[in-house]
Structure 1
Amino acid sequence: MSSPIDGYERDLDPFAYFPKARSRIAGLGGEAPLPSAKYGLHTHYVHARPGPIRFRLRLDDLTATRGRLKLRVSALPSDLNPQPRQVATLIRPLADLARDGGEIVIDGTARPDETYALAVIILDETDASASAATVTLMGAEDGGRFARAVGAGRTEIFGEQRPSFLQSLFGTDTSAVPRVTGPALLTEPVSQMCTAAQFDEPVYDEWVARLHHPRHRHRKQWEFIYILQALERAGALRPGRRGLGFGVGGERLPALMAAMGVDVVATDLPQDDARALEWRATNQHSSELDGLVYPDICDEATLRRHVAFRAVDMNHIPADLTGFDFCWSACAYEHLGSIAKGLRFVEASIATLRPGGVAVHTSELNLTSNRKTVDNQGTVLFRRRDMEKLAARLIAAGHAVAPFNFDQGEQPDDQHIDMPPYGPEHLKVVLGPYVTTSFGIIVRKKGN
């Protein structure tokens, strides 16, 4: 147990994979039913340095007279259709483990561009109980290679590049795509990334106060504020205006818009859609208007007067949803199944607007590669080239796209890259072998 392991030690949430589920070890886990009859615990998949790694499990106050515990280390490759790979297993009688103090380790070898998780499986009937569980990964990734990749991307991907270079590399003429440089400002939003400086602008606090939500430096909260500010600057949030929200989940935006006298159609996946199951498990899906009631923002009578709910698959927008003054989505179109489907959604959303109407959409942006990325999965990562192609197509169709600003910020929070298990505040995170942040695009439909 004392052999050195290269890398950092990191404590992992033992129940992160099934955060609400009970464990077969009495006293551990949540109150939800067991995900399987053998479930003990399961961490998130996290990055490790290539080479030897060790998971250490400690079960405090463990007591047991029967049953066996199986430790399993699994690896998740970072290809397009990953399947877990078994790295190591270890079986131990629970009574022996209790007698030895409840601590056990399992070793394995990590490869580049894989993530690792520890699962505990209870093989037999058991009377085991414990007061707490702690899982530590020795050999964890320190984030250095991700920071270096982001630094390289600032120059190689997001530095000033000639349109002729982009055209020859990706086969699309992006010379018409407007671009600006300098700090990204929330006060005067364009198509831009989330940066720490925007949280320091007074307008950020003004919107947070109106949403009655605790202020925190998290890119998801930034997305909501960015959408509101972009719509406000476009003159869309006025009494009598009509808005259409896609994939709203439990957002507070419809309630605030209703309080401002705006009429809203809020949409989310049909309840019986298999893709909605995961979102319901994390309280990020709505199937009716009740999930959008926030009395601290808007009284329920006013909300029901101004907001209607409708089940909509973003891959198949109904033809009768038209004539809106604005539409929006917050980190939703990266979940449509592929990069191509996500980009088609943004283009299709323009058809829901009246001439001159405004669309504001936020999503994931890959900061470390303009070539390889995550595609054809539940969450995809758009690259600069994807966003440039989208803008070029929209402009060719006669629409106006707010200039692209690829400022990534210079504050310490802009340099921090969060890795699983994610902390409560972050602007940039590791997703597979890439680093991503939030990016918003603003489009005005052609016409008056």
Structure 2
Amino acid sequence: MITETRSIHAEGDALDLNPFAFWPAYTSRLEPLGGKEPCEDPDYVFHTLYAACGDGPIAVTVTVSDLAAERGTMILRIHELPDGVGSNARQIAIKQVQLVDLIRGDGTAMISALARHGHTYAALGHIYGDTIATASDLQVRIERRMPDPNAADIPSEFISSRVGVVPLIVGTAPPSMTGPVSQMCSAPQFRERAYADWAAYLGGARGKASLSQWQRVFIARTLDRYDMARPGARGLAIGGLDEPQLVAVLTASGCMIDTSVRTSGVASAERLIVLDPEAMPESVNGYDFVFATREQGIGGTWKDRLAYIESVLRCLKPGGLAIVMADAIIDDDAPAGSDVLAWHDIVRMGLVLLSRGHQLAQLRRDIRHPYAEANDAQIEQSAFGFVVRRR
């Protein structure tokens, strides 16, 4: 038997499914769950029976208790099976979840699909990667419910097609404010018409060269270029109180902007979120776009900065856009004893982000025409903006 005797039909109906009922004898990759026999598919985690769900949206919630793993990716799927002898199942929904993200959260992941009369639906999961994963329990629940458009795991409605797969991770063309990507500040950008227009729009002086103004213009121009600054889009400005004019422009365009500070000293601000960028709470999520200014970034190694970017990405809905600014230098490697971000560090970070399923706008710098300002350590320092679309 591959179908459930139970079914759901109306909004709010739910079933708790046996995650191992389809292949009860096989061991799960989540040790020590499942049966006792080795599975022919070494990546198998669970497979429920097929259940009739009526006609409407369904949500499958997978909860893993006491999950332990150092790495690995769980792929969740929903399969649809037409009624009738000899019918073949097909995949109608798929979702990728990093095991480390499940551990950081509450061990819960959800995948949604649209059910139809005359069909039944099963949930299944696999774990890929060189890892050992253990858990004390695995629960699967399927229910009929309309998806919450503001839920953190519902893909953003404002997904930009401009961030996608690129033939070269590191570009050969110089960075430009006309078509911004992940790029380093450079002197020619200050002379572009696009830069001058956006600087004036944001209340800055035309022709003025400063890293602070470049950051402001880059964020605004990138959100415009990637079509994110649209009515109804929800944005989080990490360090937004440092850029009141930028936040005001985005709000005027119809975006709903939350701003953040490290302390509660300005509690009178509207939609204010108090957070520490070095310890982003799991409750801060569900945004269509996020920008984080250089002033709100963290120091340390490139791995520390990478962890910071990933914490920013967790604030987004799937498909949401992050613009993360960082202090950087144009050189390949940083001076001895300095924790400033160098070009080789930036490339390493980009490669890791891509390997984890995110999409990264092409990396660019202009080594012939750099722009830098001396920092407190008298290092000639520039700025870099990462443009990343969450997987």
Q: What range is the shorter-chain TM-score in? A: 0.5 to 0.7
Query: Could you tell me which of 340, 363, 366 is aligned with 1:407?
Result: 366
Q: Which runs of 5+ in 2 are unaligned?
A: 1-165
Q: Which of 193, 198, 205 matches 2:184? A: 193
- 2:345 corresponds in structure 1 to 386
Cα distance change of structure 1 residues 176 and 432 upon mapping to structure 2, 3 Å threshold: farther
Out of 367, 372, 387, the position equivalent to 1:442 is 387
| TM superposition shift of 1:389 | 1.9
1:225-264 to 2 correspondences below 5 Å = 225-251=217-243, 252-264=245-257
Q: How many residues were matched structurally?
A: 224
Asked if 2 retains the 8 angstrom alpha-carbon contact of 1:183 and 1:409, the reply is no
- Please tell me whether the aligned partners of residues 220 and 438 of structure 1 are also in contact (alpha carbons under 8 angstroms): no
SS at match of 2:169: coil
Q: Distance in 2 between matches of 1:441 and 1:223?
A: 11
Name the SS of the counterpart of 1:357 in structure 2.
Answer: strand
- Selected match of 2:316 from 353, 361, 381: 353
**Would you say 1:362 and 2:354 are equivalent positions?**
no
Corresponding residue number in structure 2 for 1:219: 211
Question: 3-state SS of the aligned residue for 1:243?
Answer: strand
Alpha-carbon separation, structure 2, partners of 1:203 and 1:369: 28
Aligned 8 A contact 2:297 2:325 in 1: no
What SS does structure 2 have at the residue aligned with 1:332?
helix
Please point out which of 239, 261, 267 is paired with 1:268. 261
Task: Kindly provide the amino acid, as one letter, of the partner of residue 182 in structure 2.
Answer: S
Question: Structure 1, residues 61-92: CA drift from partner, whole Å, max 9, x if none?
Answer: xxxxxxxxxxxxxxxxxxxxxxxxxxxxxxxx
Distance 1:430 1:336 in 2: 14
Alpha-carbon contact 1:368-1:435 (below 8 Å) kept: no
C-alpha distance in 2 between matches for 1:247 and 1:336: 16
Q: Distance between the aligned counterparts of 1:397 and 1:335, measured in 2? A: 21
Aligned to 2:104: none
**SS of aligned partner of 2:257:** strand
TM-score (normalizing by structure 1):
0.46
Q: 1:349, 1:244 → 2: CA distance?
A: 10
Q: Is the 8 A contact 1:328 1:359 kept in 2?
A: yes
Higher helix residue share: 1
Aligned to 2:304: 341
Question: Percent same amino acid at aligned positions?
Answer: 26
Cα distance, 1:258 vs structure 2: 0.7
SS at 1:362 equivalent: strand
> Structure 1 CA distance, aligned partners of 2:374 and 2:175?
19
- Within 5 A, what are the aligned runs for 1:74-85? none
Q: Deviation of residue 187 (structure 1)?
A: 0.8
Deviation at residue 325 of structure 1 after TM alignment: 0.8
Deviation at 1:320, TM superposition (A): 1.5
Structure-2 separation of matches of 1:402 and 1:230: 11
Residue 188 of structure 2 corresponds to residue 207 of structure 1? no
Cα drift, residue 440 of structure 1 = 1.0
Hey, what does 1:29 align to over in structure 2? none
The offset of 1:249, in angstroms, is: 3.6
How big is each residue's C-alpha offset from its partner over 1:71-121, in whole Å with a ceiling of 9 and x where there is no partner?
xxxxxxxxxxxxxxxxxxxxxxxxxxxxxxxxxxxxxxxxxxxxxxxxxxx
Structure 1 SS opposite 2:333: coil
User: Residues 92-131 of structure 1: matches in 2 within 5 Å?
Assistant: none
Deviation at 1:197, TM superposition (A): 1.6
1: CA distance, partners of 2:254 / 2:320? 18
Deviation of 1:374 after TM superposition, in Å, equals 5.1
Amino acid paired to 2:202: L
Report the equivalent of 2:280: 317
Give the C-alpha shift of residue 180 in structure 1: 0.9
Unmatched runs of 5 consecutive residues or more in structure 1 = 1-174, 272-285, 291-303, 415-425
Contact 2:327 2:384 in 1 (8 A): yes
Cα distance between partner residues in 2 of 1:381 and 1:195: 17
TM-score, normalised on structure 2? 0.53
Determine helix, strand or coil for the equivalent of 1:390.
helix
Distance 2:313 2:298 in 1: 19
Give the Å deviation of 1:176.
Answer: 9.1
Greater shift in the superposed pair: 324-333 or 255-264: 324-333
* Matching of residue 180 in structure 1 with residue 171 in structure 2: yes
Tell me the distance in 1 between the aligned counterparts of 2:168 and 2:295: 24
SS of 2:204's partner is coil
Query: Residues 431 and 182 from structure 1, CA distance in 2 versus in 1: closer, same or farther, beyond 3 angstroms?
Result: farther
CA distance in 2, matches of 1:325, 1:335: 23
Equivalent residue for 2:292?
329
Shift of 1:445: 1.1
2:266 corresponds to which residue?
Answer: 287
Partner Cα separation in structure 2 for residue 314 and residue 176 of structure 1: 33
Give me the CA root mean square deviation: 2.5
| Cα separation, partners in 2 of 1:394 and 1:176, compared to 1, 3 Å | farther
- What residue identity is the alignment partner of 2:227? G
Q: Pick from 349, 356, 363: which aligns with 1:397? A: 356
Deviation (angstroms), 1:332: 3.1
* Cα distance in 2, alignment partners of residues 200 and 332 from structure 1: 25
